[in-house]
Amino acid sequence: MTGAELYKKLANTPLQMAMAPYTPELCEEMAVKITRINQLKKEQNAVLLAHYYVPREIVLGPADFVGDSYKLSDDASKTEADTIVFAAVRFMAETAKILNPNKRVLVPGTDPSCSLADSITAKDVRELKSQYPEHTFVCYINTTAEVKALCDVCVTSTNVVDIFERIPNDKIVFLPDALMGKNVINALKAKGIEKEVVLYEEGACHVHERFDYEFIDLFKKSLPGTQVLSHPECTPEVVAQSDFVGSTSQIINQVKSYDEAQNLLVLTECGLVTGLVNDFPQHRFVGACQMCQYMKSNSLDGILRVLENPTPADEVILDPQVMQDARRCIDAMFKYARQGK
Ligand code: 13P
Ligand code: SF4
C-alpha cells in the first residue's frame, strides 16, 4: 500500500477519533512501516490480529484479521502461522496463546491492560467459589488466564445472553463486569427467564461506564429519530435508553441493516465509531465516542519492534496447568455458542 492510498483511506477520520491528524507526510511514513511489517510477517510466518479499537492505520494497514474479541479468538484457533502478533490487550493475547499453546504470541501494546481484567484476581475467584459452591462460574473473556482457569464457562459480549440461557444450572456467578451482569439479567427477564445471578461488584470497563444516559435524552430531543446503539458494558440506564445493544460486530451488523440514512449515536470505543464513519458515509454520526488508552497503546512502531527485536516481556508465557484449565473454560464457551447453530 502506498502512502497516497493510505491517506485516501484515513484522511476523513475526525480528529477526535485519531491519535494524531493523518497528513499525507504521516501516511508516507506509515506506508513504509506497513511494508516492512508485511515483509517480516512473511519471513517469520506470522499473522497480525487486530481488535477494532486499535489505531486505524493498523486495522487498514498490516492486519490480517480484524474483529471483536469473539471473532479474534475464533481466528486465533484456526491460524496455521507460527507466530501471532496480537494488537489489542493482554487478556486477548492470552486467549490466543491458550488456543495455540505451541505458537509464539507477541503483544505489541505498551500498556495492554484492561480495567475489567485488572479488577479481579485468582484469589478473589477462589473466595467466591467457597461462598457459592453450587453456582456455575461464568467469566467474561476480559479476564486473565488464571481467572479463566478457575471458572466453568467464558463468554464474550456477542454470546453472553445466549450462553446464560443455555447453561443448565439456574444459579450463576458472573464476573467481573457488574454493569454487563445487570444488563444480562435484564435481557433474560425480558425473555421471561429468571436465574439467580450473583455479580462481582468491583469490575467495570472504564471506557463504557463513562457514557451518560442524560445526554441520550438531549440528543433524542434535539434530533428526533436518532438511533442509539450501545455496548453491553455501558450502564443499565444507558442500555435502557438505547434502541440497539450489542457487541462490536453486532453493532456493525445493525448499522449495515439500516436501509435509509439515519442519525446515529454510537456509544462505544472510538475505533469502532471511526470505522463506521468511514464505511457508512450515508449516515450522520452524532455525539462523542470514548477512547481506550490500552487499545490505543498499540502502534505500527510497537508491531515492528516485537517482530524485529522482541524482549521476553513481549511474549505471552503461561503456566501449562493454567493454560489447560483455562482452555476448558474457553472450549465450554465455543460449545455453548455453537449449540444454537
Ligand atoms: P468485544 O467483545 O465487543 O470485542 O468487546 C471487547 C472489549 O474489550 C470491549 O470493551
Ligand atoms: Fe478493557 Fe474497556 Fe478497554 Fe475493552 S474498552 S479493553 S473492556 S478497558
Q: DSSP letters along 93-143, please? A: HHHHHHH-TTSEEE---SS---TTGGG--HHHHHHHHHH-TTSEEEEESSS
Question: What residue owns the CA closest to ligand 2's atom 3?
Answer: 292
Q: Distance, CA 112 to ligand 1 centroid (Å)?
A: 14
User: Torsion angle of alpha carbons 220, 223, 229, 230, nearest 10°?
Assistant: -50
Instruction: Say if ligand 1 is within 6 A of residue 57 CB.
Output: no
- Per-residue pLDDT, 341: 65
Q: The CATH number of 117-205+320-340 is which of 3.40.50.10800, 3.40.50.2300, 3.20.20.80, 3.90.550.10?
A: 3.40.50.10800
Question: What residue owns the CA closest to ligand 2's atom 7?
Answer: 205
Instruction: Say if ligand 2 is within 6 A of residue 114 CB.
Output: yes
pLDDT digits (tens, 9 = 90+) for 248-261: 999 999 999 999 99
Q: The CATH number of 3-110+295-310 is which of 3.40.50.2300, 3.40.50.10800, 3.40.50.720, 2.70.180.20?
A: 3.40.50.10800
Which segments of the chain belong to CATH 3.40.50.10800? 3-110+295-310, 117-205+320-340, 208-285
What is the value of pTM for the model shown? 0.94
Instruction: Say if ligand 1 is within 6 A of residue 250 CB.
Output: no
Instruction: Say if ligand 1 is within 6 A of residue 69 CB.
Output: yes
Which of left, alpha, beta for 116 (phi over 0: left; psi -120 to 50: alpha)? alpha
Test site for ligand 1: of 52, 157, 276, most ligand atoms within 8 A of the Cβ: 157
With residues binned 3-state (H G I as helix, E B as strand, rest as coil), the percentages for the chain, rounded to 5, are 50, 15, 35
- Per-residue pLDDT, 316: 98
User: Which residues make Cβ contacts (< 8 Å) with residue 166, sequence separation at least 6?
Assistant: 336, 339, 340
Instruction: Say if ligand 1 is within 6 A of residue 247 CB.
Output: yes
**Residue showing cell 464457551:** 333
Per-residue pLDDT of the chain (341 residues; tens, 9 = 90+): 899 999 999 988 887 888 888 999 999 999 999 999 999 999 999 999 999 999 999 999 999 999 988 889 888 889 899 999 999 999 999 999 999 999 999 999 999 999 999 999 999 999 999 999 999 999 999 999 999 999 999 999 989 999 999 999 999 999 999 999 999 999 999 999 999 999 999 999 999 999 999 989 998 999 999 999 999 999 999 999 999 999 999 999 999 999 999 999 999 999 999 999 989 999 999 988 999 999 999 999 999 999 999 999 999 999 999 999 999 999 999 999 988 66
User: What is the spatial distance between Cα 9 and Cα 63, in angstroms, rounded to a whole number?
Assistant: 15
Q: Distance, CA 327 to ligand 2 centroid (Å)?
A: 22
Query: What is the number of the ligand 1 atom nearest to the C-alpha of 67?
Result: 4
How far from the centroid of its chain's Cα atoms is residue 285's Cα?
21
pLDDT digits (tens, 9 = 90+) for 31-46: 999 999 999 999 999 9
Any idea which architecture 208-285 has in CATH? 3-Layer(aba) Sandwich (3.40)
Instruction: Say if ligand 2 is within 6 A of residue 204 CB.
Output: no
Q: What does the longest C-alpha to C-alpha distance in the chain come to? A: 60
- Per-residue pLDDT, 33: 98
